[in-house]
Amino acid sequence: MDALPILEDTGLPYASRHGGHMHACGHDGHTAMLLGAARYLCATRRFRGSVVLIFQPAEEIGRGAGAMLRDALLERFPIRQLFGLHNLPGLAEGVLFCRDGPVMAATADITIRIGGRGGHGGSPHLCTDQILVAAHVLIALQGIIARNIPALRACL
């Protein structure tokens, strides 16, 4: 599975062997859960039909699902039902949360360019403070989300 571009400096025996990359967002857990499900399904065979297990790459950057669709995953493996799985920090150990429809918020990219007139720190009234403008934009955008969308409702 994919890793994040973070240096793992834990000293633990199972730490990443690839410098500058680590599984810091539960991907090890996701992989272990899906492989555990595969092992259980193979051992018990308590189902009819076929099972397709999918590991989604690039989940954090919002590109994995699209890449799998462009790769014709659903055409190559016709799927009648699809279930997603993700760890959910904050739940007590041993608790399983399940519901129809979206559960967690999506990821998206946005680029905002802030420009203005440069100047000197001794005459701030003659220039545009782009850092201050960016801070106000950030606070305003967060306010839109925090005051209009319930925290547990998935953002589409």
Digit-coded pLDDT (tens) for 63-91: 888 899 999 999 999 888 888 877 777 78
pTM for this structure?
A: 0.57
The structural domain count of the chain equals: 1
Please indicate, yes or no, if residue 103 is contained in any of the structural domains: no
Please indicate, yes or no, if residue 118 is contained in any of the structural domains: yes
Please indicate, yes or no, if residue 53 is contained in any of the structural domains: no
- The amino acid present at 65, given as its one-letter code, is A
Distance, in Å, from the CA atom of 129 to the CA atom of 134, rounded to the nearest integer, reads 9
Dig out the tokens for 120 from the structure. Answer: 């000197």
- Per the structure, the complete domain to which residue 117 belongs is given by 110-156
DSSP assignment of 18-63 equals STT-B--SSHHHHHHHHHHHHHHHHHH--SSS-----PPSSTTTT-
Q: What is the pLDDT of residue 73?
A: 92
Q: What is the pLDDT of residue 58?
A: 78
Instruction: Tell me which residues of the chain have a pLDDT lower than 50.
Output: 155-156
- The amino acid present at 110, given as its one-letter code, is I
Please indicate, yes or no, if residue 125 is contained in any of the structural domains: yes
